[in-house]
Amino acid sequence: MHYSGVVYRPPYEANSLLLEVTHGCSHNKCTFCSMYPDVQFAVCPFEQIKDDINEASVYYPNVTRVFLEHGDAFVLSAERLLKIADLIHHKLPEVKTIAMYASIQNIKSKTDDELKRLADAGIGGLDIGVESGLDEALAYMNKGHTATEAREQLLRLRKAGMDYSFNAILGCAGSDLWKENADATAELINAVQPHLLFIGTLHAEQGCRLYEDMKNGTFKECTIGQLLDEQERLLSKLELKDTIYFGSHPSNIAPMQALLPKHKEEMIRYVKDIRNDLKAHLDEYPLRGSEGTILNR
**Residue 207 or 289 with smaller CB distance to ligand SF4:** 207
- Shortest spacing between CB 44 and ligand SF4, in angstroms: 16
Stretch that binds ligand SF4, among 24-32, 48-56, 108-116, 269-277 (CB under 6 A): 24-32
**Residue 161 or 207 with smaller CB distance to ligand SF4:** 207
Counted residue by residue, the chain has a size of: 297
Q: Which of 17, 19, 21, 33 binds ligand SF4 (CB under 6 A)?
A: 33
Q: Is 71 in the site for ligand SF4 (CB under 6 A)?
A: yes
Give the phi and the psi of residue 112 in degrees, each rounded to 5: -60, -40
Q: Which of 78, 88, 99, 103 binds ligand SF4 (CB under 6 A)?
A: 103
Q: Is 27 in the site for ligand SF4 (CB under 6 A)?
A: yes
Strand partners, 168: 131, 199
Q: Which of 124, 125, 129, 250 binds ligand SF4 (CB under 6 A)?
A: 129
- Shortest spacing between CB 232 and ligand SF4, in angstroms: 26
Contacts of residue 131, defined as CB under 8 A and 6 or more positions apart, other chains included, come to 137, 138, 141, 143, 167, 168, 169, 172
Q: Is 72 in the site for ligand SF4 (CB under 6 A)?
A: yes
Q: Which amino acid is at 273?
A: D
Tell me the DSSP string of 251-269: T-SS-EEEEETTTHHHHHH
For residues 245 and 258, is the Cβ–Cβ distance under 8 A? Answer: yes
Q: Which of 1, 23, 28, 83 binds ligand SF4 (CB under 6 A)?
A: 28
- Shortest spacing between CB 69 and ligand SF4, in angstroms: 11
Q: Percentage helix, strand, coil, to 5, in the chain?
A: 40, 20, 40
Stretch that binds ligand SF4, among 28-36, 175-183, 213-221, 235-243 (CB under 6 A): 28-36
267 exposure class (CB count in 10 Å sphere: 0-12, 13-18, 19+)? buried
Q: Is 150 in the site for ligand SF4 (CB under 6 A)?
A: no
